[in-house]
Structure 1
Amino acid sequence: MRKVRKVLDIFGRFLFVLCVLALTFVFAMFQGGKVSWTIFYSLLPFVMYSTLLFFYPLTEIKVKRSIQTVSNRNGGKFLVTLLVKRKSRFPLLYTVVSEKWADDKRDSMVDVRLKKLFIFGFRKEKEWQYEIEQLPRGEHVLQGVVVEVSDFFGWLRKTKFIDAKDTILVFPKMMDLDYVPFDTQYDRGTQASLLNIVKDTTMATGVRGYQPGDRVTWIHWKSFARTQTLMTKEFEDRRSQELFLILDGRVTGTFEEQVELTASIMKEASSHQAGLALMTTGSESSLFPMIQSEEQQHQALVHLAKIKPTEKDKTATSSDFGTGFQHGGSIVLVTGKPDWSFMKSLLRGTKNARSIICFVVIKGDEPTPSAIEEDIRLARSKGVIVHVLGKEQFREAFKEVAGR
């Protein structure tokens, strides 16, 4: 239906141009005189150009887009270059090139007008470069480019959509946190410690070949006595705590801040070699049961970049935690609504948890609503460690909890 309207619009405009020419010709024939014929001959070149433009194929116009990412984090800058090329040198006057987003609302979310007016003339190509600032977190899809050409007076206009799909993935902004483990674990048993990774020299798990730099006290002398080959003891690594990180996917006024805090915790915990799992709740729960390698961390970050809050007030169920929470570590919940119905699902599905920490994210310049304060008191009475944070307090989040 839209294509039919487009064709009818073009033909209607072309018929209007022909009618203007016919009317001026009839006027000159019946009126006579120098003035009337001057009007006709003055109008003739414009009508001829409009006629030629009507038959000019826009299919020969091609567009190439290149995106230079200055920063792919929330609030970063993107430099975009559009190269518009064509084969012929037919003179084009007013040519408007505009970007087409998959989501029309994106146009109002960027700081520049994604539309440019060119006067091609006889040139075969034109380049347009623009910069997008403060692009919000998410997956932004550029579907293509809309090219519109017009004659002198706008009587005839032709529009062509050129498919040029590109996806811009903007990751959440991550900040450095002062990470302090709540507890650390061996593969069997747990032990409190503020260290991240150290060699426990009381737990030898095997031997390996000696390497330069190994301590003398680590040499396995019994093996050396038997084989006359230097062997070094291998020790149990003391690992940072097991963390099960949960992002509440319900709609709140601080959802973007919650995503940023979750991504920051994930980054810091991974850098400190913590056993890490991530789950996001919402209309559908997404689970990343093991985040150890850079690829696994990247997959989780991609999910955090694309996630959108859900309007449905869905809480997690105990079955959601069965796969992700397999160790007796700590649960860290990031939310903006610490209501007890949501908390209860955590307590029901995580009986082996050493501790449950809830970070309640609020706007730093706004007082905590009384309803949230009541939810916090109820959660604390059930043994949940609740810490209220504004964005400016994210850096000290773990120190505040560890100091309690």
Structure 2
Amino acid sequence: MKATWEQRLIEVEVGAVAHGGHCVARHEGRVVFVRHALPGERVVVRITEDSGGSFCRGDAVEVLVASDDRVQQPCPFAGPGLCGGCDWQHATPQAQLELKAAVVAEQLRRLAGLERRVVVEPLPGGAEDWRTRMRLAVDAEGRAGFRKHRSHEVVPVDHCVIAVPDALDDVVDRTWPAGAELVVTRDAGGQVHLTEVGPPERRRGRQVPGPARRRRGSGTATELAAGRAWNLRADGFWQVHPAAADTFAKVVAEWADCRPGQRAWDLYGGVGLFASVLAEQVGATGSVAVVEYSTRAVQDGRRNLSDLPQVSWYAGKTEEVLRTPEFTDLPPDVVVLDPPRKGAGRAVVTEIARSRPERVVYVACDPAALARDIASFAQRGYDLAQLRAFDAFPMTHHVECVALLEPAR
């Protein structure tokens, strides 16, 4: 068995940023993925993970030569060995945008073979006080907090600098059952909803969440986007940045550009945010088919869009629903998709390309998954026509992209 470097201190020159909230360095012929550093810095790294292979992971615990982009992180719970939620608190807001742009460009180049200049656009409101949805864990002493990076260990907190004001006031100042998880949502009306999920249980040799024990608030969040009020389960999916849903809906509307009477697909459609703008474009003579795996989201969506009879709902796995006669026999003019972090995948891309839509609008929360799917679309005759990237998750490494794909000319 190879000796590992875990807990070893090494001195390195920090190289380029990489996907995942770290930078790349090299030491004694090995790659070191370094968190809490910035490109161009010289730092002392404590190795935190090492399986003995070609790479290892570590935290910058001392900065010997600092980047001009380095700032004092505003949160006392951010840093080596602490909360794993924020990756770039030690970088200026402009540097964070540039780091994320570099990651998106690198993923497109490496995975899709595309050279493209990327600009990450900030959303209104700044880098703090933006997160409306959070999941906290409870430690053995009943204190609520967030988990360390790549760990189940809980870091208790008394506030969070990226959380919207007041969201955690009644969460971090009390004791909870050890091992529970807390889902907190503050909706557009300022109401805070909390769902307490019991400690994990073991079933057939694996851990699963325990039953929901308690809810605070009505359990139904009200959100505003695309000119509508949305009522949905407080612990259901919605964009976590207050400006994100409306921003993405506007880009989708611009690039989808459906005409009256056309047919559109809204895949991974959630509660129907994008379906609402597509329905407005296709009008009463057109149709919008929403595919969503979560039956709860479909129920919420049907209620929210009950005034739009041109919208039809299909609950199930996207790749399976797209193979049914309702979809194979009625090809769309435009497709919008907003898949989970893993991306759409080859099977879904194949079904979309087979239907030969005029345009595909792809909303992505992971640049690597987006780049892989863009490469799959290219193999099936669709090229990347436009791309916008948004900093919908300030202080973290996450970035949201919207891509327009069109048939290759």
Q: Normalised by the size of structure 2, how large is the TM-score?
A: 0.31
For the pair shown, the structure with the greater C-alpha radius of gyration is 1
- More helix as a share of residues: 1
